[in-house]
Amino acid sequence: MIEFPGVESETKQLEQFLEDSQSLPASDELTALQDEARQHVSRLSTAIGIAFAGEFSAGKSSLANMLAGADILPTGIRHLQLPLVILNYSDKPRTVAGWWGQEHKTFPGVALTDAAEINPDFISIGLDTPALQQVSLFDLPGTGVSGIAHDDTNTLDLLKFVDCAIWCTNGTSPWRESERQIWQQVPDNLKKSSLLAITHTDLPAVQEELPDILKRLEAEKGELFQEIIPIATPEAVSALADGPEPDFERWNESGGQFLAEQILTAASRRREADLENARRDLKEKFLPLLGEVLPVETVETAIEPVETAAENVEELSEGAEPENELLAIWKERLSDVCRQTEAGDLSDSTELLQSCQEIVEEFAERLIDAKLPATGADWVPEEFERATDLLLLLQFETGDGPVSDALNVMHQLGETLSWAGSHP
């Protein structure tokens, strides 16, 4: 199962920077950094854009319907002359007809035909579909059809808005020269996260020729695509709708499973790249700025909360199983911090927060290979990873609040270890 990376911790840190930086003296540099932070927040909160492109009747819309889990886009002989259609998540179904630089018009529910009649530049359909919570699907107009207003240049322009692409090539006449010429103009960074889907492989004539088709396309692939995937879309759709439970064997044989995995892999890699960019700027730009201009409070204001934390540590032992070694080590490490604080070895609250962060980092590493006895404890290591990021952010805040928040985090993590380290 491909795990889509979470963005909650980084988004919270960015939003905290934007809030805290409001108290700093205004400057062009600060404004530029705040704009960068907002761009990161927007990027991390926006679904990954997956485009389906290809020549007319290549099966783009059928694939998009299949992956969205909804029969929304018209296909085959029902095909409307449509602009770009975007399928995204919405808790209530709605259709938006949009124009670049003009006011949009919204229709309740799914109203694709009504929206198309007013000739918008694009149509966005919001669906309450789990598959669309992490990705948005862009169904691009077909290329290579004489007389249709949406030409090949339009397709290339629209590809600038997406993160990954699936070029659909009809298995009855796969990867023609006209397709190659269009795709060679696509930016190299998009090619690195794109797939070539051979459609209509359910047809007997295509099945017969498929080994030779794959051999030729693999030889020509080069740097153009990450993977080449044959897909029998009708078989895949039928497998998913076959009775109360999907027919997973047919789903695999159709190519649906491999295609879905590759799309999620490409989307996950792009999200990881977004996260790395945000983490780098947090570490090198945003948090250092706060550290340079905001004074750090002394530990005198932190002694009382630390003593409270020590009491909380003792409470954690109540009801804990003797063999809960992780909890015993955790209590010992926290007690060391309390003793250091009382002895004055920690000179200010920043050092106290750093000590807490070191403990959480230590346990995050321990939990990577630890076998926790509690049923359903898979989320615990990720909880410690997120706490590490939060404790880093708290080091750049002032007053009693950061210390109090950090100690609450430590207490909650201790309770988590008490539960996760006990028998189910």
The pLDDT of residue 292 = 54
Contact at 8 Å (CB) between 334 and 314? Answer: no
Cα gap 121→141, rounded to integer Å: 11
State how beta strands 164-170 and 94-98 pair.
unpaired
Residues with Cβ within 8 Å of 233's Cβ and at least 6 positions away in sequence, in order, are: 59, 62, 63, 66, 199, 200, 202, 254, 256
Q: Is the pLDDT of residue 150 over 80?
A: no
115 and 241 belong to one structural domain: yes
Could you write out the three-class secondary structure of 187-255?
CHHHHCCEEEEEECCCCHHHHHHHHHHHHHHHHHHCCCCCEEEECCHHHHHHHHCCCCCCCHHHHHHHC
The pLDDT of residue 76 = 63
Q: Is residue 39 part of a domain?
A: no
The pLDDT of residue 143 = 80
The CATH number for 56's domain is: 3.40.50.300
**Distance, CA of 265 to chain centre:** 11
Specify the higher pLDDT residue, 105 or 319.
105
151 and 229 belong to one structural domain: yes
Cα gap 128→90, rounded to integer Å: 5
Q: Is residue 1 part of a domain?
A: no
250 and 301 belong to one structural domain: no
Contact at 8 Å (CB) between 231 and 160? Answer: no
The pLDDT of residue 203 = 95
Q: Is the pLDDT of residue 131 over 90?
A: no
The pLDDT of residue 198 = 97
213 and 306 belong to one structural domain: no
61 and 139 belong to one structural domain: yes
Q: What is the pLDDT of residues 43-81, one digit of tens each?
A: 999 999 999 999 988 989 999 989 888 888 887 655 567
Specify the higher pLDDT residue, 11 or 354.
11
The pTM (predicted TM-score) of the whole model is: 0.68
Range with top average pLDDT, 129-143, 146-160, 349-363, 401-415: 129-143
The pLDDT of residue 301 = 37
Amino acid at 142: G
Can you read off the two tokens belonging to residue 90? Answer: 């919405």
246 and 108 belong to one structural domain: yes
Single residue among 254, 277, 312 that ends a domain in this structure? 254
- Mean predicted confidence (pLDDT) in 111-127: 94
87 and 194 belong to one structural domain: yes
Q: What is the pLDDT of residues 73-100, one digit of tens each?
A: 887 655 567 899 999 999 999 999 999 8
Single residue among 203, 219, 254 that ends a domain in this structure? 254
Q: Is residue 309 part of a domain?
A: yes
Q: What is the pLDDT of residues 237-295, one digit of tens each?
A: 998 886 677 888 999 999 999 999 999 899 999 999 999 999 999 888 987 887 655 44
Residues with Cβ within 8 Å of 177's Cβ and at least 6 positions away in sequence, in order, are: none
Q: Is residue 25 part of a domain?
A: no
Q: Is residue 164 part of a domain?
A: yes
224 and 367 belong to one structural domain: no
246 and 325 belong to one structural domain: no
Q: Is residue 313 part of a domain?
A: yes
Specify the higher pLDDT residue, 216 or 7.
216
Q: What is the pLDDT of residues 379-392, one digit of tens each?
A: 888 888 888 877 87
The rounded radius of gyration (Å) of the Cα atoms in the chain is 27
Cα gap 196→396, rounded to integer Å: 47
Q: Is the pLDDT of residue 177 over 70?
A: yes
The pLDDT of residue 168 = 96
Q: What is the pLDDT of residues 308-349, one digit of tens each?
A: 444 444 443 344 444 577 788 888 888 877 777 666 665 567
Single residue among 254, 283, 308 that ends a domain in this structure? 254
The pLDDT of residue 318 = 43
179 and 109 belong to one structural domain: yes
Q: How confident is the model at residue 367 (pLDDT cuts 50, 70, 90)?
A: confident
Q: Is residue 13 part of a domain?
A: no
Q: Is the pLDDT of residue 400 over 70?
A: no
Can you read off the two tokens belonging to residue 282? Answer: 């947090």
The pLDDT of residue 384 = 86
214 and 336 belong to one structural domain: no
Task: For residue 308, give its domain range.
Answer: 297-424
User: How many domains does the chain divide into?
Assistant: 2
Percent of all residues in the chain with a pLDDT value above 90, rounded to a whole number: 41
Supply φ then ψ for residue 74, to 5 degrees. -70, 145
Type and span of the H or E element at 110: none
Q: Is residue 234 part of a domain?
A: yes
334 and 190 belong to one structural domain: no
